[in-house]
Structure formats: structure tokens, C-alpha cells
Amino acid sequence: MHAPDTSPRQASTVHAPGTPPSDVLSPANFFEASPIPTFVIDTAHVVTHMNQACATVLGVQAKDVIGTRTLGQIFYGHDRPILADLVVDGATDSALNMLYQGHARPSQQNPEALEAEHFFPHMGAQGRWLYFTASALCDGEGRLVGAIETLLDITDRKRVEHELVRAQEALNAQLALAHDQLVQNEKLASIGQLAAGVAHEINNPIGYIFSNFGTLEKYLADLFEMLTAYESAEGAVADASTRAQLKALRERIELEFLKEDIPSLMRESREGIVRVRKIVQDLKDFSHVDATQEWQFAALVQCIDSTVNVVNNEIKYKADVVREYVDIPDVECHASEINQVIMNLLVNAAQAIGPERGTITIRNGADDKHVWFEIADTGSGIEKASLARIFDPFYTTKPVGKGTGLGLSISYGIVQKHHGQIHVQSEVGKGTRFRVELPIVQPVEADAAATRPA
């Protein structure tokens, strides 16, 4: 029987199930294993620690950086303080603003720490956005011994933000364009209503003037017939004194001249009244006050001619209008909107013509499915660099105050709405030609087929 062993034994370490050995829990292992890029500097601004994640982001070997003060060169390409340096030195607001242009601030999680973000074009294939946090390191007695800084790659987030900003800017531009087009359309609608109202008010007095004028012409014919009879009977007057008085009166009032001039004045007056009636009718046709929002067939030549008459004041002092028409079928459209396109093109053509009188030529044509019209001028032309932008909203080659840059953009939108096309050809010094092509019959859409007029 053996005596019990009473000699001292070395105690063995017993770990709870699932608990790693204490050497695995060392701070150095935690630091190196962390997926968050991190480095540490001391109060002399020397790098004392850098984990593999940080070295990978910076594209360096940690052993080549530890013991150096080269982080400014690595980050920025030249010697300058980094965020951890500023923490060690107790950075002032002015230093932060100078180095980070307002992009450095106290951390939201720790007001005593700093955070910042910056873009580094030399990092990665297309540059890299990094977000930094830096805070002080103190010993057990509270003395500053250095600073720790972490990095976070926020490139993807920044790209998404950039795309969102671009999308928002595009949306804002579309909203601004839609607003301006709406305002422009409201203005044109108001002008159309005003034109229709004026036309209606003018039409009434013109109607009875025209009616009275016809009666007056009949009365004058009767008076001339009676006057001729009196002249024939004048020779039968026995009294010489009376005959002399009649002759003197006839010569004083220039009766022969009046007999020739009055019919001429009446013809000219009738022509003037007919012209006023035509202008009034053109105003009504241009405004289309009785038109609905449904697609209706309209005579394109009539639309062109009525619009030419409405804007004649813009044209008549600058150019002669030449019409080269052929017979074409009516086109399914919103006539008032097509009139707006014609008006914009005519006004632009007139404004493009310089001090010397020019020519505006209007042509039309058709094939089996489409009709087209052209408006060509002999104006100054458009430079090639500007041709690609003339349909852009707010783009104009006119002097400041002479154009909004919306006319052609709105015209383009109307033509697109009509499932048509608008083309431009121009040569500087020779002129410009716009061609608008429209389908004779609008494409039948499933949701609109039932409401389309027969």
C-alpha cells in the first residue's frame, strides 16, 4: 500500500467549455483580426500599430509604415497632418477647416473624437472615398499617449448618393421644364381665348358693316343711274342761266372724277372689310375655341395659312412668303397645337432674317401614311455646334431678352405627342429649313381607341 503523494503539484489550467485560451484574447490579436482598418500613432506622430485591413486599404505593407511618420504622404501625396495628428496636437477649428474644408467635425458617437471624409483619386481603380474617425489614447493615469484612427471605405455609398443627386437634378429639371411648358401653354391658351373673344366682338360690327356696305353699293348704283338721267336731261333745260349754273356746279365738284373714284373707293373698302373678316376668321381658326381635346381631322394648309395671317406683322416687314402647296389629305391632330408649332417656326424664320429682306418658303407633301410641311428661310443659319441643342429647353441663340428658349422645345414636344418627327437643316449664311412629319391617322392606343371619333 502506497502512502498518499503529498508532494506539491503544478496546477493545470481548466477552461470553461467554448472559452479560448487567454493568449488568444490578447489586445494585439483583437487589433490584428479586426476587419476595420485601424492604425495607432504615439505623441511623436510615429505609427506604432497598423492592422492588415488598414494596410490593404492603403495598398502598403504594415511593416514598412510602422515606425515612420509617412501617413501624410500615403494618404495625400505630400507631408500634411492626418486626423490622428490633429487629435494628438489638440486641433483647433481653424486647422480642421483649413485641412478638411468643413468636412471634419466632432464624432456623433464621441464628442471628444473627430470624424471626416475625403476622396483619394490615387486609391483603387477609380479612386476611393474614406470616412475617418480618430480619438485620443490615454494611459491608466489619464495621460495622452497617442491616437487611434479607423477608416471606412464609403465609395459605394458616395456613388449611390451621387447618382441620387443626379437623378434628383434631372427630376428637378424635368419639373422645371414641365412647369415652364405649363405656364407657356396657359399663356397661349389665354392668348387663344383673348383672340377668340376679340374675334367674336369684331365679327358682330363687321357683320352689319358688311351688310350695310352692300346696301350702300346698291343705293349708289341707283343714285348714279338717276344722275345719268339728269345729265341727259340737262340739255333740254331752256333757261341758259340754269344750264350755266349746273355746268359750273358739275365742274366745281368734279362730277366726272367722282363718278370714277367713288366706285374705286367702294371696291377698296369692300376689299378691306373682306380682309378684316378673313383675319377675324383666321383668329378663330388659330385659337380653335370650339375644339375639344379629342383628336380631330384638320386641313393642314388651312392651319398654315391662318397662322401666317395671324403672325403677318412679324413677317411682312422682313420677308416675302412663298407658298408651294400640293393637295394632301387632312391630318388627325390637335389643330391648335399644330398651329402653335407653325407659329413658332414662322416667328423663328422671320427673326433669323437680317436687315436685308428675305424669303420664307412653305412647302408640303404626303405619302401613304404621313403628311409633312417645311418652313425654310434665307436667314443667318445656325452653327453646327448649336444644331444638336436647339430643341433643348431654355437653349437659344438669340440675344438676351429676345427669346426664352422654349419655342422649339415646346414644338418638339407637340410633334412627339403627335407621333411625328421634326428635322432641321441649316447652313450659316444661307438659311435654315425645318421639316415636320405627322402621321395622317394617329396610332390607335388600346386605352383611347374607344373614345376616338369616327
Q: How far apart are CA 290 and CA 296, in angstroms?
A: 12
Encode pLDDT of 61-114 as tens digits.
999 999 999 999 999 988 999 999 999 998 778 888 888 887 888 888 888 899
250 and 320 fall within a common domain: no
Q: How far apart are CA 193 and CA 291, in angstroms?
A: 12
Expressed as residue numbers, the domain containing 304 is: 292-454
286 and 297 fall within a common domain: no
Q: Which of the residue ranges 221-230, 349-358, 367-376 would you say has the lowest mean pLDDT?
A: 221-230
311 and 454 fall within a common domain: yes
Choose between 389 and 381: higher pLDDT: 381
Q: Is residue 12 part of a domain?
A: no
135 and 221 fall within a common domain: no
Q: How far apart are CA 32 and CA 50, in angstroms?
A: 8
399 and 363 fall within a common domain: yes
269 and 172 fall within a common domain: yes
Q: Is residue 13 part of a domain?
A: no
296 and 241 fall within a common domain: no
Q: Is 258 exposed, middle or buried (0-12, 13-18, 19+ CB in 10 A)?
A: middle
Tally of domains in the chain: 3
CB half-sphere exposure, 195, CA atoms < 13 A: 23
247 and 307 fall within a common domain: no
Compute the mean pLDDT over every residue in the chain, rounded to the nearest whole number.
Answer: 81
Residue 187 binned pLDDT confidence (cut-offs 50, 70, 90): low
Q: Is 82 exposed, middle or buried (0-12, 13-18, 19+ CB in 10 A)?
A: buried
Of 256, 290, 324, the position where a domain reaches its end is: 290
Highest mean pLDDT among 125-134, 170-179, 323-332, 388-397: 323-332
pTM of the model: 0.46
* Mean pLDDT of the region 266-279: 81
The residue whose grid cell reads 366745281 is 252
Give the H/E segment covering residue 241: helix 240-252
Of 261, 290, 319, the position where a domain reaches its end is: 290
Q: What is the CATH number of the domain that holds 97?
A: 3.30.450.20
Q: What is the DSSP string of 394-426?
A: T---SPTTS--S-HHHHHHHHHHHTT-EEEEEE
143 and 28 fall within a common domain: yes
Residue 24 has pLDDT above 60, yes or no: no
Q: With contact defined as beta carbons under 8 Å apart, do 134 and 149 qualify?
A: yes
Per-residue cell: 61 = 505593407
In single-letter form, the type of residue at position 219 comes to Y
Of 290, 321, 336, the position where a domain reaches its end is: 290
351 and 224 fall within a common domain: no
100 and 185 fall within a common domain: no
252 and 342 fall within a common domain: no
Encode pLDDT of 335-371 as tens digits.
888 988 998 899 889 988 988 999 999 999 999 999 9
Q: What is the CATH number of the domain that holds 392?
A: 3.30.565.10
